[in-house]
């Protein structure tokens, strides 16, 4: 299936583009698989790929590029690799500047490590430039057909994985796009102490223990920890401590919940985008915001009528 009409030996001879392209293709396939396997962590990690359409698009693109590196014109594949990894480096640097995960390896590697890997691939690709150029490809239609079929299969697998995730782990996905209009999952069935969340109006906040921005947000809007809107109660969940247990408190928003107010997760710790705010009415989520949108959302909620205090 590969195009044998062009010669691509590099000046180095031993390690040329003809061999290196397979390593790059394997890397891209691996990252695509890792993204699909770690979909829940990516969608709740607050990173660059934290939305389903973006995650599917990038995963499909990686698979398509990998296939073309194997079956496509060698010179065009070289140019495609340069362009792809230049984009990857720029995207990862942007993630670093915004203090966000880049999700390139499913959140398993820090962005600083990922940008080094991408830069090395980019540099090696530039050094292993094909010696002879022949961009005409008599098998172009066949090559693009193979690329399209494989990319479509990968996209289908990603969507299927998302559906399975929603079906099997919905109770663990504390994500706005999943929960709005649905029952709030942390209730009396999770822990009897949370049974009060099944009725009445609630503003539920979730934040990571070591999140500096979250602490600033809480200090700004909840200088009085018992602040709440009229006819509404608050619940505050804190996660990310030394153990997977979450701490919580009702009617008080502060990062010092009682040490005995712990929640255990026999089926696994929930996935949540930090920080997150959910409005719940009689056990149903009616609105929510998470990540970078949380503070603006909270400000709009508390900037109306004067919040009530005990």
Asked whether residue 293 is assigned to any structural domain, the reply reads yes
CA distance 55 to 213: 26
Give the residue from 170, 202, 236 where a domain finishes.
170
Per-residue model confidence (pLDDT) at position 134:
65
Asked whether residue 12 is assigned to any structural domain, the reply reads no
Judge if 198 and 118 occupy the same domain: no
CA 278, chain centre distance (Å): 19
Q: Under 8 Å CB-to-CB from 209, ≥6 apart: which residues?
A: 238, 239, 240, 241, 255
- Paired sense of beta strands 271-272 and 173-174, if any: parallel
Judge if 123 and 246 occupy the same domain: no
Judge if 239 and 266 occupy the same domain: yes
Judge if 188 and 159 occupy the same domain: no
Q: Under 8 Å CB-to-CB from 59, ≥6 apart: which residues?
A: 32, 35, 36, 154, 155, 158
Q: Under 8 Å CB-to-CB from 205, ≥6 apart: which residues?
A: 218, 234, 235, 236, 237, 253, 275, 276, 277, 298
Tens digits of per-residue pLDDT, 150-184?
A: 999 999 999 998 888 777 776 678 888 888 999 99
Asked whether residue 308 is assigned to any structural domain, the reply reads no
Asked whether residue 51 is assigned to any structural domain, the reply reads yes
Per-residue model confidence (pLDDT) at position 211:
84
Looking up residue 225, the CATH number of its domain turns out to be: 3.40.30
Asked whether residue 26 is assigned to any structural domain, the reply reads yes
Judge if 131 and 212 occupy the same domain: no
Asked whether residue 116 is assigned to any structural domain, the reply reads yes
Judge if 70 and 182 occupy the same domain: no
Phi, psi of 304 (to 5 degrees): -80, -135
Domain that holds residue 154: 17-170
CA distance 186 to 209: 19
CA distance 132 to 85: 22
For the stretch 89-94, contacts whose Cβ atoms lie closer than 8 Å and that sit 24 or more positions apart, written own/partner, are 89/115, 89/118, 89/119, 89/122, 91/48, 92/118, 94/48
Q: Which residue numbers in the chain have pLDDT < 70?
A: 1-15, 46, 134-138, 170-171, 241-243, 257-260, 266, 304-310
CA distance 125 to 131: 13
Give the residue from 125, 140, 170 where a domain finishes.
170
What does pTM read for this prediction?
0.67
DSSP states of 4-55 as a string? Answer: -SS----TTSSS-HHHHHHHHHHHHHHHHHHHHHTHHHHHTTTSTT-SHHHH
Judge if 33 and 157 occupy the same domain: yes
Judge if 203 and 219 occupy the same domain: yes
Q: Into how many domains does the chain fold?
A: 2
Judge if 156 and 37 occupy the same domain: yes
Residue count of the chain, please give it.
310
Per-residue model confidence (pLDDT) at position 231:
93
């Amino acid at each position: 299936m590969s195009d044998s009409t062009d010669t691509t030996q590099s000046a180095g001879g031993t390690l040329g583009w003809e061999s290196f392209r397979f390593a790059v293709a394997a890397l891209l396939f691996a990252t695509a698989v890792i993204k699909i396997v770690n979909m829940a962590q990516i969608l709740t990690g607050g990173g660059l790929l934290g939305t389903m359409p973006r995650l599917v698009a990038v995963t499909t693109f990686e698979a398509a590029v990998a296939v073309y590196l194997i079956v496509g014109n060698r010179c065009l594949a070289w140019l495609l690799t340069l362009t792809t990894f230049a984009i990857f480096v720029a995207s990862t640097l942007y993630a670093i500047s915004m203090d966000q995960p880049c999700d390139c390896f499913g959140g398993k590697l820090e962005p600083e490590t990922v940008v080094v890997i991408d830069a090395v691939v980019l540099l090696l690709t530039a050094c292993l430039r094909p010696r002879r150029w022949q961009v005409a490809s008599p098998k172009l239609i066949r090559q693009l057909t193979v690329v399209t079929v494989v990319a479509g299969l990968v996209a289908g697998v990603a969507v299927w994985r998302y559906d399975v995730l929603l079906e099997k782990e919905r109770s663990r996905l504390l994500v706005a796009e999943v929960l709005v209009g649905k029952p709030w999952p942390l209730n009396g069935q999770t822990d009897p102490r949370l049974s009060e969340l099944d009725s009445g109006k609630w503003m539920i906040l979730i934040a990571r223990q070591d999140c500096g921005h979250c602490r600033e947000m809480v200090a700004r809007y909840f200088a009085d920890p018992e602040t709440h809107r009229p006819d509404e109660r608050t619940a505050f969940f804190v996660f990310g401590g030394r153990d997977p247990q979450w701490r919580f408190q009702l009617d008080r928003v502060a990062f010092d919940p009682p040490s005995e107010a712990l929640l255990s997760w026999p089926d696994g710790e929930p996935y949540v985008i930090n920080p997150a705010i959910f409005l719940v009415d009689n056990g149903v989520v009616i609105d929510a915001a998470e990540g970078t949108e949380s503070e603006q959302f909270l400000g709009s909620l508390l900037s109306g009528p004067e919040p009530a205090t005990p």
